[in-house]
Chains A and B, each alone.
Chain A
Amino acid sequence: MARMKFICDAERCIECNGCVTACKQEHDVPWGVNRRRVVTLNDGVAGERSISVACMHCSDAPCMAVCPVDCFYRTPEGVVLHDKDICIGCGYCSYACPFGAPQFPSNGNFGLRGKMDKCTFCAGGPEDNGSQAEFEKYGRNRLSEGKLPACAEMCSTKALLGGDGDVVADIFRTRVLNRGKGSEVWGWGTAYGRPTQGQPGAAPVPGKKS
């Protein structure tokens, strides 16, 4: 079973914001909500880097841990989704997320904060796949159409990779080997863990000398 992940190759991102536009267009995301955005580090300084940031669908998602109404769930493909019919818009997930992924539309009376909205890895939500209800609440369900996230598939420099984690990691590794630099992947360790951050190391293989 594929485990869906994002990688943003900072050596390739040119800050065109095409991914942001594609996401907003594909899901009809309202004003004031950006499921994906481009962040530039050291802007204006030689060697600046841009990265495209959205929900990373973390392996151990903090939003899931803090949600008081347990509206989050993880699909077998590793996509972290939520049920908007359960969400109460408390904003705890927003505080917990290291990527600032949860967004809240201010579409109610008196500045009332609406239900949380975030990147779905173009996998919709807990409604019938491809239904109008799913589109209105969560946007298009491209995975159920046999496609990958719009942001990654339309990235003009192929900086943003999205898909099975093993495959996109292989694609990125091949690039790094070919260009001989730029192996840093921002957010990867935070989202998917690494042994040095308290995660358990790889299980030893019986009969194999380490």
Chain B
Amino acid sequence: MKAVRGSLLALLGVVSLVLAGCGEKVQTASVSGERKVDGQPWQNKDARYLAPGWTPGDQNSWNAQLANRVQGQNDYAPRK
């Protein structure tokens, strides 16, 4: 009985060690070693959180949106 319990405990220990290893996130450098290319900020396929007032994919629209939005931090901007 003691032997069975001992081997069960040992098995549990091994299993928990193996599972702990699975929880470690991979931190190795990328295989290629080259930096990925970032997209343009006015390109966004996910429309869930887009601020209203501009058209995704249109750079001029994005520029105008940010130029308008930054005035929200200006106390002295003329009120509309």
A residues adjacent to B (C-beta < 8 A): 2, 69-71, 73, 75, 77, 81, 83, 85-86, 88-89, 107-109, 112, 114-115, 123-131, 140-141, 143-148, 152-153, 155, 158, 161-164, 167-168, 171, 174-175, 178
The answer for the CA separation of A71 and B30 in the assembled complex, in Å, is 11
B19 close to A (CB within 8 Å):
no
Could you pull out 22 A-B pairs where Cβ atoms are within 8 angstroms?
Answer: A75-B38, A86-B33, A86-B35, A88-B29, A107-B25, A114-B27, A124-B38, A125-B38, A127-B36, A129-B46, A130-B44, A130-B48, A131-B46, A141-B41, A144-B41, A144-B42, A145-B51, A146-B53, A148-B70, A158-B73, A162-B73, A178-B76
- Given the known inter-chain contacts A128-B45, A130-B45, A130-B49, please indicate yes or no for A146 contacting B35, CB distance below 8 A: no
Q: Return chain A residues, CB-CB under 8 Å to B44.
A: 129-130, 141, 144-145
Measured CB to CB, the nearest residue on chain A to B76 is A174
Using C-beta atoms within 8 Å of the partner chain, give the interface range for chain B: 35 or more
Q: Which of A73, A88, A123 is close to B41, meaning CB atoms less than 8 Å apart? A: A123
**Binary CB contact string for chain B from 18 to 50 against chain A (1 if under 8 A, 0 otherwise):** 000000110101100111111101111110111
- B interface SS class: loop
Q: Return chain A residues, CB-CB under 8 Å to B48.
A: 130
B residues adjacent to A (C-beta < 8 A): 24-25, 27, 29-30, 33-39, 41-46, 48-51, 53-54, 62-63, 65-67, 69-76
Q: Tell me the minimal C-beta distance from A108 to chain B in angstroms.
A: 7
